[in-house]
Structure 1
Amino acid sequence: MSRSPEKSNPSPPLKRPPNWSDVWFKNKKALNHVVFAMHLQSLTKPPKTNLPPEPDKTLIFDSSKVADRTSLLSDELLLQILSRLPKSQRNANSLVSKRWLNLQGRLVRSLKLLDWNFLVSGRLFLRFPNLSHVDLVHGCVACPRNSGILLTHKLVSFHIDSNISQGGFIPERYMLSVDEIDSGLRSLASGCPNLRKLMVINASEMGLLTVAEECPTLQELELHRCNDQVLRGIAACQNLQILKLIGNVDGFYRSLVSDIGLTILAQGCRRLVKLELSGCEGSYDGIRAIGQCCQMLEELTLCDHRMEGGWLSALSYCENLKTLRFLSCKSIDCSPGPVEHLGSCPTLERLHLERCQFRNKHSVRALFIVCQDVRETILQNCWGLDNDMFGIAIATICRKVKFLSLEGCSRLTTQGLESVILSCKELQSLRVVACNNVKDSEITPALSTLFSDLKELKWRPDTKSLLLSSLVGAGMGKRGGRFFKKT
């Protein structure tokens, strides 16, 4: 019996047409792109209007058209991310987009102003709305930027031209007027209410008063070209803790800070912790007022002072003073008065003298009598410090010294050093650097024994010193659990 041709060659069953859900879930990559595009569209959806709805459009996602995927992040979240990146990447991050530029500006807290118009125009606060430390010194001086002459001081530096005023000071035309600076201070006070540190030059009493009233969190202030009248404006700075006054700067400008200004300062800023007087005049009365009123003062620095004779004895009124510094002072006290009237600072721990001139033995003796309880003494590049001066200072008076640092004392010899440090029974750390008259060959056994008992020693009086290599293996400096530091 023959079979029909239909039964002998059966046709294959018909396949079911693919479902959209099968296609989408099989291609997960395409699905993820669609979901991302829908999310992006929902964030940028236009507001509802009364116009008739537009006809449906096919949703097509193109990842190449999404320029900034960080747009999905909130400003707060992106700020936290940017704040954790290293500061070296700030300039590069600001070039990504306008949004990143604005966000990066919100992270800036400290700024040195170079263009005064950037402040008075208000662009400073739009670009950097969260500033807390502002340096206006260079912006207050309109220097010729294309000049090749740079006038430099340890405090300031400016470009100038060949037209120097009589006496060698900066011409007044370079300095902005007091009215211009006060206008800028008013703008700064209104735009930076959280200001904590300010540096300014040639300001007036009214300009500083505005800052004091509008910025209650101001804690640190540096005033260049300051005078007695200007100090009236900082009396309203109730929370001021760190103050630096710069009166005279050789080759730059002159201004007068006398006992009148120091008394005004003492009565208005009673919460001072650190005070630096640079190029300031005064006497016993001004320093005494500071000691009596500023009872929280812990650190006092005098740089190139012009104090009258007898001011040194007023330091005994600074009952909580812990650190006393003298920088670039031509004299300590030309007439300190009788020893019995000097007094002392019982809480003083650190005495630092750098680039000072020791011309008067009586003056040096008076200084160390006031500082007789000091624990740390640093003498760096002081002219006139010889064996006699050093013996008067340390051997006979300051016998409680635990840390002694000598640098650039070219007139000090090995014998003078030995006679002094052998009398310091509490000495634990010694540092001798660039003292060319101190020789390794002149070290006695007694001095070598003292070296072995020290906790810390840095010995480099000159480039030919061989003491370190000769002490290897001697067990030096192991008392107290510390080890000898090689240099």
Structure 2
Amino acid sequence: MRPMRGRGRDRINTYLPDELVVEIFRRLDSKPSRDSCSLVCKRWLGLERLSRTTLRIGATGNPDLFVNLLSRRFVNVRHVHIDERLNISLPVHLGSLARRRGSSSSYSKSEDDGIETHSLSDAGMVALGEGFPKLEKLSLIWCSNVSSVGLTSLADKCRLLKSLDLQGCYVGNQGVAAVGQCCKQLEDLNLRFCEGLTDVCLVELASGVGKSLKSLGIAACVKITDTALEAVGLHCKSLESMSLDAESIHNKGVLAVVRGCPALKVLKLQCINVTDEVLIAVGNCCSSLEFLALYTFQRFTDKGLRAIGNGCKKLKNLTLSDCYFLSDKALESIAIGCKELTHLEVNGCHNIGTLGLESIGKSCPRLTELALLYCQRIGNFALSEIGRGCKFLQVLHLVDCSSIGDEAICSIAKGCRNLKKLHIRRCYEIGNKGVVAIGEHCRSLTDLSLRFCDRVGDEALIAVSQCSSLQYLNVSGCHQIGDAGLIAIARGCAELTYLDVSVLQNLGDMSLAELGEGCPNLKEIVLSHCRQITDVGLNHLVKNCTMLASCHMVYCQGITSAGVATVVSSCPNIKKVLVEKWKVSQRTKRRAGSIISYLCVDL
């Protein structure tokens, strides 16, 4: 890309002011596009840096050094995301610079590759505060070396902070309390897995930012008790979202939040000591509730869900996971009272069966997403009602639902023609007939997963090939599928970007050749345990699939080191290759060692 020139003059740089060029950069929809613009000329490089508002920093390298360097280059950053689970390679020149400066951040050295992996320290937090005083959103994910000292320093400098994620950080009470004292605009706080915190910090924080706080997440903080939640209920009247996973919390604390925060819209609870009394209070007090998720409850009954149905008329999203004492009557109450329901997940609730889901199909016409996981008692007739009553259904997940078969899927296909995503796993009664109906009626399908569905074969994929918008396909473990089905997909689904055909014993090189010809947008492919695929098929695939970024091919006995080298050398965008270690030659390892992963090192 070059600036527009006319009669030897640079029109863009001559006539457009800095402010307009920066605004254009801000409107670019991807980082690669902005990076390309920054290479045009020095002026664009400087202006593009002014347009950057977000930085992401991973674990490998020196986060403290990065913060110092980036704060001088990108002065308008508002969002910083540091995740020490992410492995991002440190450029060579920065690595040598870090060693020369003798950075104080802690680090460890990997025995396999010799790369030094550093952790953000309090010094990095000080640099964050001083370098980005306009910071509004900060995520520190598993930054274990950050303490109250660093967090206190940052809070004092970044008083415009609105969102703070401290997941997995071992910050103490003083740091969180300082946030409450300094960051009066804080709206979103995540304290998941902050194990050292006690009631003291949350009481002080609630009193400090109670007027602004809208979202709070707490998990695995064993020293936080009902006392802290009582402070939240007393001070945080604007709270809209609460996520709570704690064994130390009882009815008293949750009731304080429910009764004190009438604006509550999102409530996620995993608290084994909470009973129906809480749900009754939610039904009575939280008329604005839109999202409710209940996980692993052994003390909730139909009585609690009846209160939700009676009082929460705006409920749109409901998740019930391992709630063993809920029955069909619970879903009937939701169906009758919550006509706005759009998303429903039922996971491992063994007493909920066909009648409960049937009532949803009859009474909730706006349902767009349904997930049934480990629901052995829900049968075909339930999904037949969903097909008749929920015409707007776009997403359906079925996992280990042994009583659901082709009849149900045919009903969904004929009634829910807007279906875009269908994921089925280990539903052994579903075969070709149901999937053929999907291919014939649901032409907007973009995402299909049929994992370990033994009765699905080539006939099903030939029908699905009519869904020309298909982008994601997973048929792992569908043993009846062979070349004929994949060739049909290759010829009919040119937009395919992800394909998993692992454990297909009848799949050969011919299908890979067709995929190479017909699916040039393919970015990820999983070929593991495909015994008939060889280097020949792999060569045909990568010849035209130049966008391929990930290839898994372990336990493919026909693929050799030559095939691995072909993938590495032919795919300029390749980022991950999963293969046995003995199939990687020394030359391939030298050329692309950083992108190769080994499932079984010693084979």
Aligned to 2:199: 259
Preserved contact between residue 143 and residue 159 of structure 1 (Cα < 8 Å):
no
Higher deviation after alignment, 218-227 or 409-418: 409-418
Task: Please report how far the alpha carbon of residue 368 of structure 1 lies from its aligned counterpart in structure 2 after TM superposition.
Answer: 6.7
Residue deviations 1:378-406 (CA, integer Å, cap 9, x gap):
44472355xx5144644458852121633
Preserved contact between residue 312 and residue 336 of structure 1 (Cα < 8 Å):
no
Tell me, what secondary structure is at the counterpart of 1:229? helix
Task: Please report how far the alpha carbon of residue 455 of structure 1 lies from its aligned counterpart in structure 2 after TM superposition.
Answer: 7.1
Rounded to whole Å, the distance in 1 between the matches of 2:173 and 2:327 is 37
Aligned to 1:8: none
Rounded to whole Å, the distance in 2 between the matches of 1:81 and 1:338 is 54
Query: Of 99, 105, 109, which residue of structure 1 is paired with 2:53?
Result: 109
Aligned to 1:240: 186
Match runs of 1:3-402 below 5 Å:
72=14, 74-87=17-30, 88-114=32-58, 115-119=62-66, 122-138=68-84, 176=119, 181-200=121-140, 201=143, 202-224=145-167, 225=169, 226-235=171-180, 236-248=182-194, 255-270=195-210, 271-281=212-222, 282-302=224-244, 304-310=245-251, 311-326=253-268, 329=270, 332-334=271-273, 336=275, 344-353=284-293, 356-361=295-300, 366=304, 369=307, 373-375=311-313, 376=315, 378-380=317-319, 382-385=321-324, 389-391=326-328, 393-395=330-332, 399-402=336-339
Preserved contact between residue 313 and residue 336 of structure 1 (Cα < 8 Å):
no
CA 1:227 to 1:318, structure 2 compared with 1: closer, same or farther past 3 Å?
farther
Task: Please report how far the alpha carbon of residue 237 of structure 1 lies from its aligned counterpart in structure 2 after TM superposition.
Answer: 0.8
Rounded to whole Å, the distance in 2 between the matches of 1:326 and 1:129 is 37
Query: How many residue pairs were aligned?
Result: 370
CA 1:323 to 1:370, structure 2 compared with 1: closer, same or farther past 3 Å?
same
Residue deviations 1:211-258 (CA, integer Å, cap 9, x gap):
33322321111113244332111121111111111225xxxxxx2333
Query: Larger C-alpha radius of gyration, 1 or 2?
Result: 1
Tell me, what secondary structure is at the counterpart of 2:185? coil
1:433 equivalent to 2:371? Answer yes
Percentage identity across paired residues of the two chains? 22
Task: Please report how far the alpha carbon of residue 290 of structure 1 lies from its aligned counterpart in structure 2 after TM superposition.
Answer: 0.3
Tell me, what secondary structure is at the counterpart of 1:104? helix
Rounded to whole Å, the distance in 2 between the matches of 1:96 and 1:455 is 50
Larger relative contact order (CA 8 Å, sep ≥ 6): 1
Higher deviation after alignment, 235-244 or 78-87: 78-87
Rounded to whole Å, the distance in 1 between the matches of 2:155 and 2:289 is 33
What is the aligned-residue RMSD (CA, Å)?
A: 4.4
Query: Match of 2:36, as an amino acid?
Result: A
Query: Match of 1:316, as an amino acid?
Result: V
Tell me, what secondary structure is at the counterpart of 1:136? strand
Higher deviation after alignment, 426-435 or 306-315: 426-435
Residue deviations 1:174-226 (CA, integer Å, cap 9, x gap):
774xxx73322222222222111112334333433333332232111111324
TM-score, length basis structure 1? 0.62
Preserved contact between residue 274 and residue 299 of structure 2 (Cα < 8 Å):
no
Residue deviations 1:321-379 (CA, integer Å, cap 9, x gap):
3323327x3xx33254868995743334223327x2233345x8557757852232544
Preserved contact between residue 393 and residue 416 of structure 2 (Cα < 8 Å):
no
Preserved contact between residue 352 and residue 379 of structure 1 (Cα < 8 Å):
yes
Preserved contact between residue 388 and residue 411 of structure 2 (Cα < 8 Å):
no
Task: Please report how far the alpha carbon of residue 291 of structure 1 lies from its aligned counterpart in structure 2 after TM superposition.
Answer: 1.2
Tell me, what secondary structure is at the counterpart of 1:96? coil
CA 1:144 to 1:89, structure 2 compared with 1: closer, same or farther past 3 Å?
closer
Query: Match of 2:412, as an amino acid?
Result: L
Rounded to whole Å, the distance in 1 between the matches of 2:274 and 2:111 is 41
Aligned to 2:98: none
Preserved contact between residue 288 and residue 314 of structure 1 (Cα < 8 Å):
yes
Rounded to whole Å, the distance in 2 between the matches of 1:338 and 1:243 is 27
CA 1:421 to 1:468, structure 2 compared with 1: closer, same or farther past 3 Å?
closer
1:405 equivalent to 2:343? Answer yes
Query: Match of 1:290, as an amino acid?
Result: V
Rounded to whole Å, the distance in 1 between the matches of 2:52 and 2:65 is 16
CA 1:160 to 1:421, structure 2 compared with 1: closer, same or farther past 3 Å?
farther
Tell me, what secondary structure is at the counterpart of 2:267? strand
Rounded to whole Å, the distance in 2 between the matches of 1:144 and 1:95 is 22
Rounded to whole Å, the distance in 2 between the matches of 1:196 and 1:237 is 10
CA 1:368 to 1:214, structure 2 compared with 1: closer, same or farther past 3 Å?
farther
TM-score, length basis structure 2? 0.51
Aligned to 1:47: none
Query: Match of 1:264, as an amino acid?
Result: E
Rounded to whole Å, the distance in 2 between the matches of 1:319 and 1:485 is 45
Tell me, what secondary structure is at the counterpart of 1:306? coil
Higher deviation after alignment, 345-354 or 457-466: 457-466
Query: Of 356, 361, 365, which residue of structure 2 is paired with 1:416?
Result: 356
Preserved contact between residue 366 and residue 390 of structure 2 (Cα < 8 Å):
yes
CA 1:342 to 1:260, structure 2 compared with 1: closer, same or farther past 3 Å?
farther
Preserved contact between residue 246 and residue 280 of structure 1 (Cα < 8 Å):
yes
